[in-house]
Structure 1
Amino acid sequence: MKRRTTLHTLVGIAVLGLTTLAACKKESADPMPDPTAPVAGKAGFLIGKVTDPQGRPLPRATVYIDNTVLVGRGAEVTSGSDGSYKMALVAGAGQWVAKGFILKSYNDRVYKILLDPENPDSFSEDEKPVRNFQWKLTGHIPDLSLDLYYGGTAELLRDPNAEGLNDDENIEFTFKPVGPLIDGSAGKTLTLKAKRRYDSFLRDIPIGRYEISAVYKPTGEKLLVADGWGDLEYKTSVVLDFLGTEASYRANSMGIGYTNRR
């Protein structure tokens, strides 16, 4: 009798083990959650994700809301390590617009960079709003009434003593990256010209450190360039950074002086 009980016990343990193993196999076969799956909205909250230029989760980004009637900055939150954020909305306050930015340290400067909204439309608290954002190196900011871009701006400053050179559109500037761009990616050499005469700006340049040179295209003459907001020491090339948050109205900009006077 004792031997029979022991045998039944062993058989029971074996069956339980096989059942458990089958259950484990079935559980492990279930698909893992997709981190790129769309975020589901929730009434009373603003929910979304923030990604970097490569589409990876971007932590420590700031997302805030503006009311479309009572204009002024409302509540704000910071994205987590997975790039996600969640913000409670005030009931009955009308329509809101979500905006975002990051503060990025680069080459001993701090830059404030606006984030690109996947959906710039306004929303109310009962619409289960989802608003995702991405940090973009270049591109036009959604408000088409403004000539604003995610990239940096270079202001072209002609030497008053230069001979001619009034046709900005015929001067070609070469921007050669010195080290990685602000997002850590490798930049590429750019050749840029003003779009039209008297438009002394080069817009939407990926923020980075550049070695800059210039040539007057009609004659092929190499021009001298300088830090237009600095020492104005003209050379065949100059290494420049964009200004950061230390410059209130010139942030994300640089000045390039140029001349043919030697």
Structure 2
Amino acid sequence: MKQLTICIFFLWSALFISCKKGNNTDKPSTKQYTISGTVKDAAGNPVQNARIRVENPNGNNIHYTATSNEVGKYSIAVSAIGGYKIYAWKETTFENQTYQIRLGMEKDTDYDAFSVPPSGVTKNFVWKLTGRIPDRVASKENGTGYFGGTIKFINYNSFVEQMPAGTEVAITLTPLANTKFIDGTPANGKILVRKFAIINGVGQAYYLNDIPAAKYRITASASLNGVVRYADIGSGNPNELTISAEHYFKAEAGAGSYESGLASPNEYPFYLAVWWD
């Protein structure tokens, strides 16, 4: 009986050790082939409910998705293959419109394709209001390739001659009282002044790129041969001019793109007129 008891004990012990060893070997690590990181705004605050997408364009439409939690963290388990690229968007509401805003990354190299080691990799996102989007082609005419928006001005109106070549135009963008940038940070007092010079020839359109999205009051002035005049502005119409105009960047149509999420400047241009006499 004693021998039987000893045999049962050793048999049970061997089975226990075997099961324990099997669990350690067969259960995959929660960190294996995992992409994780944080999503924050420009002030370093966590961004919740950002949409993360990992894709492999050469892998037969292989992609994975996740959403950042209340502290701005996300984690995505992927397969061991390489060639991944990662993107993030934040859905937000501004001026009663819904936007799908493309989020930025900490370093330009983070936009490149990458492989995921067994130990995992970290990719952090930042909600950027301005700057180049490294993986997009910049086009000043279409406003692409920038996190900020683009405004289009046209040297034309229905009342006076176009401004001559050499005229320097100054555009002042003043955030409206109590307005905020599209990421929710205060815009009060953050006035922008951008300038451009009138040139000869056709194509009298001028673009101000990479402007942080907010609601602005636009005023303009023109300087030629030491003479400075205020410019009138036509908001989308060369036949109706005022001394100033209000503007905000409308949402790009659709569920989101790899661009900024702001509409093209060509949809709503501003016309300029100067009375020199």
Which TM-score applies when normalising by structure 1?
0.73
Question: How far apart, in 1, do the equivalents of 2:32 and 2:136 lie?
Answer: 30
User: Which residue matches 1:79?
Assistant: 68
Residue 157 (structure 1) aligned to one of 154, 163, 169: 154
Q: 1 or 2 for the larger relative contact order (CA 8 Å, sep ≥6)?
A: 2
2:117 aligns to what?
A: 126
* Paired residues of 2:152 and 2:205 also in contact (CA < 8 A): no
- Say whether the 8 Å CA contact 2:157–2:238 is kept in structure 1: no
Q: Which runs of 5+ in 2 are unaligned?
A: 1-29, 140-144
Instruction: Give the match for residue 48 of structure 2.
Output: 59
State how far apart, in whole Å, the 2-side matches of 1:84 and 1:72 are.
25
Out of 196, 213, 216, which is 1:194 matched to? 196
Query: Is the 8 Å Cα contact of residues 50 and 132 (structure 1) preserved in structure 2?
Result: yes
Amino acid at match of 2:43: Q
Superposed counterparts of 1:241-252, under 5 Å? 241-246=248-253, 251=263
Q: Which moved more, 1:139-148 or 1:206-215?
A: 139-148
Superimposed CA distance per residue, residues 145-192 of structure 1 (whole angstroms, 9 cap, x where no aligned partner): 534111111011232544132549721111010122222323211111
What residue number does 1:23 align with? none
Shifted more, 252-261 versus 115-124: the winner is 252-261
Q: In the alignment, is residue 235 of structure 1 matched against residue 238 of structure 2?
A: no
What pairs with 1:217-232 in structure 2 (closer than 5 Å)?
217-218=223-224, 219-228=227-236
**Alpha-carbon offset, residue 239 of structure 1:** 0.9
Question: Could you tell me how far apart the structure 2 residues matched to 1:79 and 1:261 are?
Answer: 54
Q: Residues 191 and 88 of structure 1: is their aligned pair in 2 closer, same or farther, counting only changes over 3 Å?
A: same
Distance 1:200 1:240 in 2: 16
Q: Separation in 1 of the partners of 2:197 and 2:75? A: 42
- Identical columns (%): 26
How far 1:257 moved relative to its partner?
2.1
Shift of 1:68: 4.5
Partner of 2:84: 96
Whether contact under 8 Å (2:163, 2:198) holds in the other structure is no
Which of 98, 102, 105 aligns to 1:114? It is 102
Corresponding residue number in structure 1 for 2:271? 257
What secondary structure does 1:184 align onto?
coil
Give the conservation status (yes or no) of the 8 Å contact 2:164–2:198: no
Superposed CA RMSD in Å reads 2.9
Instruction: Assess if the C-alpha contact under 8 Å between 2:223 and 2:229 holds in 1.
Output: yes
Q: Verify the 8 A CA contact 1:168 1:193 in the aligned structure 2.
A: no
Other-structure match for 1:142: 134
Q: CA deviation at 1:208?
A: 0.4
In structure 1, runs of 5+ residues without a counterpart are 1-40
Give me the TM-score of the superposition, normalised by structure 2: 0.70
Corresponding letter in the other structure for 1:244: A
Distance 1:67 1:59, change over 3 A: same
Moved more, 196-205 or 150-159: 196-205
- Alpha-carbon distance between aligned partners in 1 of 2:191 and 2:35, rounded to the nearest angstrom: 40
Determine the C-alpha separation between the residues in 1 that align with 2:57 and 2:185. 37
